[in-house]
């Protein structure tokens, strides 16, 4: 059986790291088994769904390299949901209920006050035809619930959590359609999974009880349920659920200059027993992908770890990978020299200015200015100008280590640290280097 997975975001906002992780793992599960990864836009909530977010979702998946093999939009599949609804209603598996939200909340509080689970009491099933007619004549439109079969055991072998079992009698009959005839998540999702041939549903552990309900929906619709797996949710670095994670959008990460490969490398293994490593090769990540490595403990997302992974990936990037993102005039040698000092590619312009100038000089004392004047006179261009210059100055002055190197770096770059001067000085060039040394030697102390 070919593996078919799906990522089903609602277009009500930008993708955040939790969404991205779900999309990535579904993409990896499909690719690992040579299957198909589908994008389903869950836009049945017309009031909150926006086309600009549909476009943003596509853009974000494209940036991450998670191209879907097909796309569906729920707003174009309403006839399918209507047909499934009628089938289930005729079979007695869907029934109308008339309680207001306030009435339901009051019943919930009463049950909880008695130490009982807040399960819907199915009061709507006791209504007669006359009762229902009277409520509708009074202007009360029904919402619709799926009737769970209390005699049917609900069990499945979860791809992450192992054997799962639910007593249907301990679950409320879920509302599948509102009084205004709009759809809730449960039924359309099950209908689409059947129609799209989805074989594996990988999602967050907050959906476990939804799965128990949907398994009965699949059965009621005459379809075998897909295989389910529920991964642990992300938490912040402080060890608890963080609002920050919900606002950490794909667009913000991209605009901050983080590499998609870094985000993928981190999220691919976050929450598994495998080490997070700066792996830019998707084939390597796919080879090690296995639901058996997923843990039950919350997966801790640490922005500092993302930064470390990003820096390591940048340090391994070849010139050809970034040539189109570099300042004009910056060649492969310049990239090689500057790359070790970067944590993000978008920092390269700042370091490239060490070559192109101008540079700001620190304050030098008279002795140091004299030393830099000597350096300007001793500068002789060759294939190894830095090594030759420092060797000549060491011989002439007896300076070594920091006293030998630091004033030269400061005069040539305006910095106390930076790229290897052996690589950087040839990029600065003889004329520019001599001018900088002479300027430093004659600057007022």
pLDDT at 445: 55
Residues 397-409, mean pLDDT to the nearest whole number: 96
What is the spatial distance between Cα 349 and Cα 327, in angstroms, rounded to a whole number? 6
Average pLDDT, the chain: 95
pLDDT at 153: 87
Q: At 183, give phi and psi (nearest 5°).
A: -95, 145
Confidence of residue 242 (pLDDT cuts 50, 70, 90): low
Give DSSP secondary structure letters for 251-289: HHHHHTT--HHHHHHHHHHTTBSSPP-----HHHHHHH-
pLDDT at residue 82 is higher than 80:
yes
Please enumerate in sequence order all residues whose Cβ is within 8 A of that of 413, keeping only pairs 6 or more positions apart, or say none: 354, 359, 424
Tokens (6 digits) for 191: 């209908």
pTM: 0.91
Confidence of residue 197 (pLDDT cuts 50, 70, 90): very high
Q: Is 243 annotated as a binding residue?
A: yes
Residues 127-151, mean pLDDT to the nearest whole number: 96
- Which of 94-98, 142-146, 268-272, 296-300 is the least confident region? 296-300
Name all domains of the chain by residue range, CATH numbers in brackets: 4-72+185-233 (3.40.50.620), 80-177 (3.90.800.10), 319-355 (no CATH), 357-442 (1.10.10.350)
What is the spatial distance between Cα 375 and Cα 399, in angstroms, rounded to a whole number? 12
Tokens (6 digits) for 54: 């549909």
pLDDT at residue 431 is higher than 80:
yes
What is the spatial distance between Cα 49 and Cα 47, in angstroms, rounded to a whole number? 6
């Amino acid at each position: 059986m070919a593996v078919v997975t799906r990522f089903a975001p609602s277009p009500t906002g930008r993708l955040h790291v939790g969404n991205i992780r779900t999309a990535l793992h579904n993409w990896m599960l499909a690719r690992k088994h040579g299957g198909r990864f589908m994008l389903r836009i869950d836009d049945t909530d017309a009031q909150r769904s926006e086309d600009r977010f549909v476009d943003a979702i596509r853009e974000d998946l494209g940036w991450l390299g998670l191209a879907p093999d097909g796309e569906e939009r729920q707003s174009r599949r309403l006839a399918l949901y209507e047909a499934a609804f009628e089938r289930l209603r005729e079979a007695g598996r869907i029934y109308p209920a008339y309680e207001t939200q306030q009435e339901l909340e009051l019943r919930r509080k009463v049950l909880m006050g008695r130490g009982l689970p807040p399960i819907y009491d199915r009061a709507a099933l006791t209504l007669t035809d006359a009762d229902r007619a009277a409520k509708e004549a009074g202007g009360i439109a029904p919402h619709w619930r799926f009737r769970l079969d209390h005699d049917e055991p609900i069990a499945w072998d979860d791809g992450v959590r192992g054997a799962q079992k639910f007593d249907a009698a301990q679950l409320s009959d879920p509302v599948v359609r509102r009084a205004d005839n709009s759809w809730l998540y449960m039924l359309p999702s099950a209908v689409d999974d059947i129609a799209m041939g989805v074989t594996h549903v990988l999602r967050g552990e907050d959906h476990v009880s939804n799965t128990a309900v949907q398994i009965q929906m699949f059965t009621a619709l005459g379809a075998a349920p897909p295989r389910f797996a529920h991964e642990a949710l992300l938490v912040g670095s402080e060890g608890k659920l963080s609002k920050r994670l919900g606002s950490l959008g794909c667009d913000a990460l991209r605009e901050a200059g983080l590499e998609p490969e870094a985000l993928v490398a981190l999220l691919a293994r976050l929450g598994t027993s495998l080490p997070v490593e700066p792996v830019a090769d998707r084939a390597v990540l796919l080879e090690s992908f296995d639901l058996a490595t997923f843990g039950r403990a919350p997966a801790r997302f640490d922005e500092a770890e993302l930064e470390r992974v990003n820096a390591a990936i940048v340090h391994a990037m070849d010139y050809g990978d970034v040539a189109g993102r570099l300042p004009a005039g910056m060649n492969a040698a310049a990239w090689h020299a500057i790359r070790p000092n970067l944590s993000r590619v978008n920092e390269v312009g700042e370091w490239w200015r060490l070559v192109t100038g101008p540079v700001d000089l620190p304050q030098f004392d008279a002795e140091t200015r004299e030393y830099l004047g000597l350096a300007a006179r001793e500068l002789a261009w060759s294939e190894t100008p830095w090594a030759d210059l420092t060797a000549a100055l060491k011989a002439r002055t007896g300076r070594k280590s920091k006293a030998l190197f630091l004033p030269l770096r400061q005069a040539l770059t305006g910095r106390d640290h930076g790229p290897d001067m052996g690589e950087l000085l040839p990029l600065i060039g003889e004329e520019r280097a001599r001018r900088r040394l002479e300027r430093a030697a004659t600057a007022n102390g």
